Structure 1
Amino acid sequence: MNPVSAADLDAAIASLAGGLRPAASKDWTTAAGTGDLDAWHTAEHIGDCLLSYAAQLVSRRPSGYLPFLASLAKDASSADALEFALAGSAILAAVVRTSPPEARAYHPTGTADPGGFAAMGCAEVLVHGEDVARGLGLALDPPRDVCARTVARLFPHLGDVSDLDPWTALSWAMDRVEVPGRAKQTGWRWRGAPPEE
């Protein structure tokens, strides 16, 4: 399986944009998002999270997160929220693209390399993007090859999932769907560190 790359993150971003732009004029503060968050705050979370990953990788911080939060202005529109999520994602893709393979930085699930941050970015964009889409009565249609590489990179402990559609496998791994015959992934955790480390 090829490592997750900046190109995979680009494809995840394109899926997010294509899936959510048709609803950018709706009120995302009244639509469900992730957990207790509405769609607007879920999009804000995507932008903040991916900017944080980019900062970690640029700084190569060996322990702890850089102590900052990126947030939307209180009067930001739904379209602004989507653009913030897309911008954070694109910045992470640019940082992954320009980071040497040996770069490492802190993440609570293991010191990660550029491919690990790319995989985490893909998972955040696609799964939280789907959370937003569902709240708006839509659905994403992510590239299956990106989903397969993301699952292989982040969830090696789940074993062989090649019998599942890769998007279903990623959604199951992050406890968004149940799969008959497989344990529910309550309390899921991915692996940030490279497989060989």
Structure 2
Amino acid sequence: MSRSAETGSSSSPVTADDVDLAVRLAVSVLRDAPADRWDAKAGSLEWNCWETAEHLANDLFYYAVQLGPQSPPLDTHVPFALSRRWPNGPAVFFLAERDAGPAGLAQVLEACGALLVAMVRTTPPHVRAHHAAGVSDPEGFAALALQETLVHTHDLAVGFGLAWAPPSALCSRVLARLFPEAPAGEDPWLTLLWSTGRTELPGRPRLTTWRSDSTPRS
């Protein structure tokens, strides 16, 4: 575990090390998952746990490839074709082999995380690429990946019936980068869950719509 991921302040940038740590935490949840819970609903989502983990891997892949072209598009994503298994299912670029089982799915998630970690580490900070939450820089894509990984790992843990909470420093950096208007003074993890429509906060009802802002801060 890197020192920056363990002890970095909430005001410091989101880094490739943060993404690496978050993916390792997510994979550990997948490896602890009960074998009979993969078709269970993932938290408050309509998707089951397998679909949610597959979606998370696709997210990490998506963020990595946006930074790949020499001149990334700014008005739309790199045109990998999307598909859905069913009308309300997650849109995906690829599927994990179901015959490979949960261990294979964990490898897919690890591989996609490694691609993004490499791209964030090696892409110059001035590069910009498209995202629906705002044209973003490498740190913004790292922050989006951190948000998706932490929150969807929560969804998975709920579906699996497992207790799980990420390091507060990771949550604080995601909030600072993507949710600058989030309320201060509450537990960072609960605030991130509130900001993404997963829970209530004291005096603040659960959000029914929400949006992160991945545009560069400077």
> What is the alpha-carbon distance in structure 2 between the residues aligned to residue 78 and residue 183 of structure 1?
35
> Which residue is equivalent to 2:204?
182
1:129 aligns with 2:153: yes
1:29 aligns with 2:38: yes
Q: What RMSD over aligned residues (CA atoms) do the two structures have, in Å? A: 1.6
User: What is the deviation of 1:183?
Assistant: 4.2
Q: One-letter code of the match for 1:15?
A: L
Tell me whether 134-143 or 40-49 shows the greater mean CA deviation: 134-143
> Which residue is equivalent to 1:61?
73
> What is the alpha-carbon distance in structure 2 between the residues aligned to residue 125 and residue 15 of structure 1?
9
> Which residue is equivalent to 1:43?
53
Deviations 1:2-46 (A, max 9, x none): 1111011112112212333222x6144322226111000100000
> What is the alpha-carbon distance in structure 2 between the residues aligned to residue 66 and residue 46 of structure 1?
18
> What is the alpha-carbon distance in structure 2 between the residues aligned to residue 131 and residue 22 of structure 1?
14
Q: Specify every segment of 5 or more residues in structure 2 that has no aligned partner in the other structure, as ranges.
A: 1-10, 81-92
Q: Specify every segment of 5 or more residues in structure 1 that has no aligned partner in the other structure, as ranges.
A: none
| TM-score, normalised by the number of residues in structure 1 | 0.91
- The number of aligned residues is 193
> Which residue is equivalent to 1:86?
110
> Which residue is equivalent to 1:6?
16
> What is the alpha-carbon distance in structure 2 between the residues aligned to residue 87 and residue 129 of structure 1?
17
User: What is the deviation of 1:82?
Assistant: 2.3
> Which residue is equivalent to 1:142?
166
| TM-score, normalised by the number of residues in structure 2 | 0.83
Deviations 1:58-105 (A, max 9, x none): 122222112221221243412222222222122111110111111110
C-alpha contact 2:97 2:105 (8 A) present in aligned 1:
no
Call closer, same or farther: CA 1:40–1:134 in 2, change over 3 Å: same
User: What's the secondary structure of 1:156's corresponding residue?
Assistant: coil
User: What's the secondary structure of 2:181's corresponding residue?
Assistant: helix
C-alpha contact 2:73 2:129 (8 A) present in aligned 1:
yes
What percent of counterpart residues are identical? 40
Q: One-letter code of the match for 1:192?
A: S
Moved >3 Å (runs of 4+):
none
